[in-house]
Amino acid sequence: MSGAIYALDKPVGVSSHQAMKTFQKSVGARKAGHGGTLDPFATGVIIILSGSYTKLEPYLSHSHKVYQASLELGCRTSTADPEGEVVETASVPPFDEVLLQQVATDLTGSVELPVPAYSAVKIAGRKAYDYARKGEILDMPVRTTSVANLVIKSDPSARRVHFYADVSRGTYIRALGEEIARRLGTIGHLSTLRRIRCCDIGVGDCVTLDQVRQNTPVPLSPCDVLRENTIFETDSHTIAALHQGRPLQWNTLRETHAGLAGNPTGIVMDDSGAVVSVIDIRQGRILRNI
């Protein structure tokens, strides 16, 4: 089965899964998946994989993502976003750019943030949002995350701020928004969220669903979204041997790109740039054929 990788600018109001299914139908793919889930209220980059390339989802370059968001102050919702019910209101103390800069500085680096109650994290075998929807209150776990860059800007309304965040994989921007509000002496929830970069792909590299409905999009190069892995190129004889499950012959692989330090995963491609296998470099074994 052949495969392809695309970048979609997900519109507001649909889930990532719904967007993926619409994309799949438009391009006529028999099988599809996606990497990097966005909530329905959010927009921006998600990666769509079709055909045999759906097997590559675990190896996408997810180590960091970049977001733009607006934070409504003085109002907390059950979901920490505009889709939830208002559960608390509060006054908003005055703040200036100096304080915003200080909050941004304090929240840059290694940061501990609670996992939102409305999330897919499993607790005692059930997803957290299952408890939340039934009104069951839990002590949510705290997750250590990394914020590489955070910029917070004021809004003329004085009850809203906007922020730009470059964060590590697994960071809940809703939780980051609530923490920003707390450090400003109030409460808050995200009113908008846009992912502007994911898997080394920016929104400028994406297509919209309207564009996909009109024309078949051009796939991304697999190298563009797999760059955190070491990439090798090889010949047709080695490819045949890999697909037959024979032991790796390192002298037949030519490294064309070095992945992140400490990442043991290798991607083997043919001379046309198509992915043929995923390997474990340290153990010298095939993880899966594509």
140-188 pLDDT per residue, tens: 678 899 999 999 999 988 899 999 999 998 898 999 999 999 999 999 9
The CA distance from 79 to 88, in Å, is: 12
Count CB-CB contacts under 10 A for residue 110: 9
47 and 111, same domain (yes or no): no
CA pair distance 135, 131, nearest whole angstrom = 6
Q: What's the CATH code of the domain at 165? A: 3.30.2350.10
- Per-residue pLDDT, 114: 82
How confident is the model at residue 109, as a pLDDT? 97
Asked if residue 273 lies in contact with residue 2, where contact means CB atoms within 8 angstroms, the answer is no
Identify the pLDDT of residue 123.
Answer: 65
Query: What's the token pair of residue 106?
Result: 């304090």
Q: 115 pLDDT band (50/70/90 cuts)?
A: confident
pLDDT average, residue stretch 239-250 = 88
Q: Which residues are catalytic?
A: 39
Whether 98 and 16 share a structural domain:
no
82 and 165 assigned to the same domain? yes
On whether both 85 and 136 belong to a single domain, the answer is yes
Same domain, 91 and 173: yes
The mean per-residue pLDDT over the stretch 25-40 comes to 92
222 and 175 inside one domain: no
Q: Are residues 128 and 36 in the same domain?
A: no
Counting residues of the chain whose pLDDT is more than 90, the rounded percentage is: 77
Residues 168 and 207 in one domain: no
What digits encode the pLDDT tens for the residues 178-209? 999 999 999 999 999 999 999 999 999 999 99
Give the contacts of 80 (CB within 8 A, at least 6 positions apart): 116, 118, 174, 175, 177, 178, 189, 190
Judgement on whether residues 82 and 180 belong to the same structural domain of the protein:
yes
Q: How many domains does the chain have?
A: 3
Judge contact between 242 and 286, C-beta under 8 A: yes
Domain residues for 26? 1-62+199-228
Q: Residue 15 contacts by C-beta under 8 Å, 6 or more apart in sequence?
A: 39, 40
pLDDT at 130 over 80: no
Same domain, 79 and 55: no
Compute CA 64 distance to the chain's CA centroid, rounded to the nearest angstrom.
Answer: 8
Residue 120 burial (10 A CB sphere; 0-12, 13-18, 19+): exposed
**Whether the predicted pLDDT of 61 surpasses 90:** no
Q: Are residues 154 and 248 in the same domain?
A: no
Alpha helices in 46-151 (DSSP H): 97-106, 128-133
Reported pTM: 0.90
C-alpha–C-alpha distance, residues 242 and 289, integer Å: 8
Q: How high is the pLDDT of residue 227? A: 93
Instruction: Quote the pLDDT of residue 247.
Output: 85
**Distance (Å, whole) CA 242 – CA 236:** 10
Residue 75 has pLDDT above 60, yes or no: yes
Reply yes or no on whether the pLDDT at 92 is more than 90. yes
Predicted confidence at residue 141, as pLDDT, reads: 72
On whether both 76 and 169 belong to a single domain, the answer is: yes
Q: Given this model, what pLDDT does residue 41 score?
A: 95
- The confidence score (pLDDT) of residue 162 equals 98
The CATH number for 240's domain is 2.30.130.10
Residue 171 identity: T
Does residue 243 contact residue 268 with C-beta atoms inside 8 Å? no
Instruction: State the CB neighbour count (10 A cutoff) for residue 188.
Output: 26
User: Please, which pLDDT band fits residue 139 given cuts at 50, 70 and 90?
Assistant: low
What is the average pLDDT value for the chain, to the nearest integer? 91
Do you know the residue count of the chain? 290
